[in-house]
Amino acid sequence: MLHTDLFRPDNLKDASKPAFQIERGNTCAGVNAAILEYLVNNLPGSGQLRFLDVPCGDGSFLLSAKRLFPLSEVVGADIEPQTNKPGKPDKFCKFDAARQRLPENIGKFDVITSISGIMEFGNTQFFLSNLCDLLKDSGILIISNDNLISVRDRLLYLLFGRTGQYPGIASRNNPTWKPIPIAALLRLAIEAGLEPVNLFFVLPGRSEFLWSPLAIPVYCIQMIYDKLSGFDARNEFGFRLHPLISLYSRHYFITCRKRTITEIGENRSGSNAK
């Protein structure tokens, strides 16, 4: 069954764009739509941009991006090409994200996305470093991942020792899963030469708000803990890691820019001083 989400122009700067259905792909409901909404609001729609999506799966996200940015070139990369769709990316690179680097001859990109990908393979810092090298100095890197701090996931882990849709014990034929907490992913991005700019939790479905009787007291406890432990004071990002929506949302994405050589040097000097 093909799952789609409605891409609405209501929240866009250019509200003249028509609403249309976009394929959900191999991610949670609303994720592709939320990322595309962010890009439309922050990129020139008439620009000749270059997009890279890795792992791209069947190319669902890239085809939707091409529709919104028709002059752009969209490039996909994955371990195996999936050609069961009527459309396809302008280019496709076959590679193993955990072991290989994408070739530099594919050029630099204005937008690089990795949607629901980093939990599928290891070597996350190696992978992010590769993407950083392929990002233009003014480019945007977007990484999305399952949210492990929602009330649903906290309760599943407390009761059954598992989170999200993944079983606590995987059989030999199950795909591997690499859970990465938000704070760890942000740190890995910095070590790979990136600077996290913002953190967005994808708007949850209505059924998720049924967790409110538990979410609200958990939120209060989380705020008290963050304050007393000094977490808020140590948080060097310009955004909060534990907003109320984080207890409902199933998925999030972070936006990153490429750090300058000066910024990387200052970060290393600060680490050595400590």
Residue 37 lies in a domain: yes
pLDDT tens by residue, 203-236: 888 888 899 999 999 999 999 999 898 887 777 7
pLDDT at residue 268, rounded to an integer: 55
pLDDT at residue 6, rounded to an integer: 59
Q: How many domains does the chain have?
A: 1
pLDDT tens by residue, 66-91: 988 889 999 999 887 665 565 678 88
In terms of Cβ atoms closer than 10 Å to its own Cβ (0-12, 13-18, 19+), residue 138 is exposed
pLDDT at residue 138, rounded to an integer: 92
Residue 234 lies in a domain: no
What is the overall mean pLDDT for the chain?
A: 83
pLDDT at residue 267, rounded to an integer: 60
In 15-174, the DSSP E strands lie at 20-23, 50-53, 73-78, 91-94, 109-114, 135-146
| CB neighbour list of residue 188: distance below 8 Å, 6 or more residues apart | 124, 125, 128, 180
| CB neighbour list of residue 90: distance below 8 Å, 6 or more residues apart | 66, 73, 74, 75
Residue 142 lies in a domain: yes
Tokens for 209, please give them: 């708000």
Which residue's entry shows tokens 């093909």?
2
What DSSP line would sit under 160-178, residue for residue? HS--TTS-SS--TTSPP--
Q: Which of 16-20, 169-173, 185-189 has the lowest mean pLDDT?
A: 16-20
Residue 243 lies in a domain: no
Kindly report the CATH number assigned to the domain that includes residue 162. 3.40.50.150
Residue 228 lies in a domain: no
Residue with the bigger pLDDT between 168 and 265: it is 168
Q: Please name the helix (run of DSSP H) or strand (run of DSSP E) that holds residue 176, with its range, or none.
A: none
pLDDT at residue 100, rounded to an integer: 83
Residue 245 lies in a domain: no
pLDDT at residue 23, rounded to an integer: 76
Residue 215 lies in a domain: no
Helices (H), 43-80: 60-68
pLDDT at 4 over 70: no
Residue 218 lies in a domain: no
pLDDT at 178 over 60: yes
Show the domain range for 136. Answer: 4-208+250-273
